[in-house]
Structure 1
Amino acid sequence: MDSATESQEFLAGVDQARAALRELFEPTPLQRNDYLSAKYGADIWLKREDLTPVRSYKLRGASNAMRKALADRPERRRFVCASAGNHAQGMAYACAHFGTEGVIFMPVTTPKQKIDKTRHFGGPAVEIRLVGDYFDDTLSAARKFCAEADAMFLPPYDAADVIEGQATCGLEILDQLPPGVTPDLLVMPVGGGGLSAGMARIFAARSPATGLRFVEPMGGPSLKRALEAGKLVTLDKVDNFVDGAAVARIGDLNFGTLGTFPAEDVVVVPEDRLCGTMVEMLNIEGVVLEPAGALAIDALRDLGEISGKTIVAVVSGGNFDFERLPEVKERALRWEGKKKYFILRLPQRPGALREFLNLLGPDDDIARFEYLKKSARNFGSVLIGIESGSSASADAVRARMDAAGFTYIDITDDAVITSLIV
């Protein structure tokens, strides 16, 4: 089959998938964001996948794969998946819609909020099994059960029908843009690659002039590393903070599409900066985003000169557990330079602490203080956290500490130490 015919068949399949999705939910809105547009001097549009019934795009792929599996073998009514979050909720919703049975394997460490939401969407149609401390163990258990029960395994991203379902997001974008408007750039998050592979094929066929930018968290740049190596690679270590996009290896099928792009088209964003974007969108726009959902918006900072351009950013998910909000705010403050942590060497004599406190300005606050006095020593160690009104105020405190001759270690950016004691 030649490439043109293959492309047309893919477009036809995606169009059919889009029509079938209308039984589950209306197209998610494509909204021009005035705040971001003014901030970057560009025309910024947000594709609000956080507004699907399960608050992520995963429902698209899960429901399409289930629909086609039932059309192929209607007698097969049991489906299985392994997921710690959005894919599980998408499959649960699809099971309730199609009247099928679902067995969903989730790690034992999955937050209760995600388990409860999955159970809510699936109702009596799904059974949730908590297996393994790590996702690899969960996935292994799910596949073993699937083989023993002769059930249908529903992969989260590396399957043709899943890719086809996720690609419906691209068709909606192109149909929702104002007449005559062609986006200069499409910015989208990458986890396992199902969404980005489907969108890349849609835009190659329908809007080839649009440039594509893929966004990964710094703690899981599996596409970036694969493109740099010219082949699929498995990361030795993954930071799971951006749990919706932290994947050790891009899907094999997805890399067949994404492997043609240069590594420079992948933007890698630091997790602490991403937290700043999450807080910004919550405080200013009232938009609740999970870490993966904020990736494309955060990457706008790294696109170079975008003034005057039309840019579509995919907001991929809004399943945020508010129990994580203190951590997100903490990391955002550290990235902004407004919060610093020091291990301070303080003389053990009356008035020493007062001398240090006198160095603080009107916009500085003590956010953490732990002091261990040792009677056999002349100095004691203090763990101190200082929150300032601005990064300039924080820098001024440090300058005054230096001028006063205090001995200290700045541990703010030491991930190992802060993870243990902060």
Structure 2
Amino acid sequence: MDSFADHARAAAAEMRAVFPESPLLRNAHLSARFGADIWLKREDLSPVRSYKLRGAFNAMRKRPEADLFVCASAGNHAQGVAYMCRHFGKKGVIFMPVTTPQQKIDKTRIFGGDAVEIRMIGDYFDDCLAAAQSFCAERGGHFLSPFDDDDVIEGQATVGVEILEQLGRAPDHLVVPVGGGGLSAGLLSFFGADCQYTFVEPHGGACLRAALEAGKPVTLPRVDTFADGAAVARIGERTFDRLKGVGLASSLTINEDRLCTTILEMLNVEGIVLEPAGALSVDALKDLGMTIRGKTVVCITSGGNFDFERLPEVKERAQRYSGVKKYFILRLPQRPGALKDFLNFLGPEDDIARFEYLKKSARNFGSVLIGIETSEPGNFERLFGLLDDNGYTYRDITEDEVLAQFLI
């Protein structure tokens, strides 16, 4: 009887007639920074800029009798299904959350053409998942899960087949982003005990970690959709069945603001465009530290479907995380020269990015919202020290989620 690895190799061989393998590239910048041999498996360079078309291809090739395929996706799985519907000459109905970035919606339409219909349903992935499954129950068609499907898991495992061929052996350490678990379950099933693993999730969508802690899949009460490619409220039953033994020590959660620093670094230093979920594995290297020193490490850069309209938000979050941008509310005296006095406190590397009177009246003081960008976090110690010494009243709201949401 053929093993899981045999099936994955067969799927990889079939794929070569449809799209080429994604490159495995050694990254000199990351290797030098972390003292390890760091390789990037560039799934962001696939025809749909993510690994998702692998699972879609494998599942659809195994069901030649099906005429209609239905899926729910935050974007990347949708593009993979659309691409394969067109390739196999099948009809597809794709349900997407209304919060899906426009870039992913447009690309899904381009890949699918007349073969697919897109329906925008719900604010979160799990909302459109329920709608897609309800549609299948009423209208028929094969529901193609983005992760909780044995054929999809097998298809995603072809990433491992290629790594083994390209590297010539299993890596010492494999760093894998996790959404619903299809990629991670496939790679774990393919490599087994041949390498160490780190499974990485965004802090606002850590469904694998929650399941490991509970011993079974659980539904997260709230999901942060910033890393939309990995923002899943509940890990799959089939995927968790393969992942349940990995242990919490192999699980990492990543702060979304810190993730933004890695997105910018990869763009500015390496010229690599990664979506938030696609940058998870690279960002995780910061936490692995000495544990990977001298080892051969493969990071799966799982997607590059990044809408550049989000770049200002990414920069903003990265600056705030790095401590070089702060927002505060200042009580400013209502007298001539008061603003000039404040400006004199600013150093040569401090720049005003926001200045807005929140309340100005004939009274003695007015409240001002001020945003300051600088080159080093320590510059704020100097600025706030001067404000304290001169009797100014102010409140730093940079980390105040509620106030920042309304004012910034």
**Shorter-chain TM band:** over 0.9
- Structure 1 residues 372, 411: CA separation in 2 closer, same or farther (over 3 Å shift)? closer
Secondary structure of 2:253's counterpart equals strand
In the other structure, the counterpart of 1:347 is 333
Which stretches in structure 2 are left out of the alignment for 5+ residues?
none
Amino acid at match of 1:88: A
Of the candidates 34, 47, 72, which is equivalent to residue 53 of structure 1? 47
Structure 2: how far apart are the matches of 1:128 and 1:273?
33
In the other structure, the counterpart of 2:134 is 144
CA shift for structure 1 position 376: 4.5
Structure 2: how far apart are the matches of 1:141 and 1:228?
29
CA shift for structure 1 position 402: 2.3
Q: Do residues 185 (structure 1) and 173 (structure 2) align?
A: yes
Q: Do residues 287 (structure 1) and 287 (structure 2) align?
A: no
Output one character per residue of 1:84-128: Cα deviation in whole Å (capped at 9) or x when no partner.
200100000000110111111122333332221101001111111
Secondary structure of 1:44's counterpart equals strand
CA shift for structure 1 position 345: 1.3
Amino acid at match of 2:101: P
Secondary structure of 1:219's counterpart equals helix
Structure 1: how far apart are the matches of 2:6 and 2:384?
62
In the other structure, the counterpart of 1:116 is 106
Structure 2: how far apart are the matches of 1:271 and 1:390?
21
Query: Sequence identity, in percent?
Result: 64
**TM-score (ref. length: structure 2):** 0.97
Amino acid at match of 1:352: A
Alpha-carbon contact 1:182-1:310 (below 8 Å) kept: no
Structure 2: how far apart are the matches of 1:237 and 1:229?
17
In the other structure, the counterpart of 1:128 is 118
In the other structure, the counterpart of 2:250 is 265
Of the candidates 34, 40, 45, which is equivalent to residue 34 of structure 2? 40
Amino acid at match of 1:338: V
**CA-based RMSD:** 1.4
Alpha-carbon contact 1:387-1:394 (below 8 Å) kept: no
Alpha-carbon contact 2:103-2:305 (below 8 Å) kept: no
CA shift for structure 1 position 279: 0.3
Amino acid at match of 2:174: L
Structure 2: how far apart are the matches of 1:221 and 1:398?
36
In the other structure, the counterpart of 2:210 is 225
- Structure 1 residues 16, 330: CA separation in 2 closer, same or farther (over 3 Å shift)? same
Output one character per residue of 1:54-93: Cα deviation in whole Å (capped at 9) or x when no partner.
00000000111111122xxx2x211111112001000000
Of the candidates 315, 318, 326, which is equivalent to residue 329 of structure 1? 315
In the other structure, the counterpart of 1:13 is 7
Q: Do residues 276 (structure 1) and 261 (structure 2) align?
A: yes
Alpha-carbon contact 2:59-2:152 (below 8 Å) kept: yes
Alpha-carbon contact 2:170-2:191 (below 8 Å) kept: no
CA shift for structure 1 position 373: 4.6
Structure 2: how far apart are the matches of 1:268 and 1:77?
40
Amino acid at match of 1:389: S
Alpha-carbon contact 2:48-2:76 (below 8 Å) kept: yes
Structure 1: how far apart are the matches of 2:72 and 2:117?
12
Alpha-carbon contact 1:348-1:373 (below 8 Å) kept: no
Alpha-carbon contact 1:63-1:94 (below 8 Å) kept: yes
**TM-score (ref. length: structure 1):** 0.94
Secondary structure of 2:304's counterpart equals coil
Structure 2: how far apart are the matches of 1:354 and 1:385?
16
Structure 2: how far apart are the matches of 1:100 and 1:174?
32
Q: Do residues 242 (structure 1) and 230 (structure 2) align?
A: no
Secondary structure of 2:233's counterpart equals coil
Structure 1: how far apart are the matches of 2:29 and 2:166?
20
In the other structure, the counterpart of 2:369 is 383
- Structure 1 residues 313, 109: CA separation in 2 closer, same or farther (over 3 Å shift)? closer
Of the candidates 242, 254, 261, which is equivalent to residue 239 of structure 2? 254
Show the 5 A alignment for 1:146-225: 146-177=136-167, 179=168, 182-204=170-192, 208-225=193-210
Show the 5 A alignment for 1:93-104: 93-104=83-94
Structure 1: how far apart are the matches of 2:358 and 2:117?
50
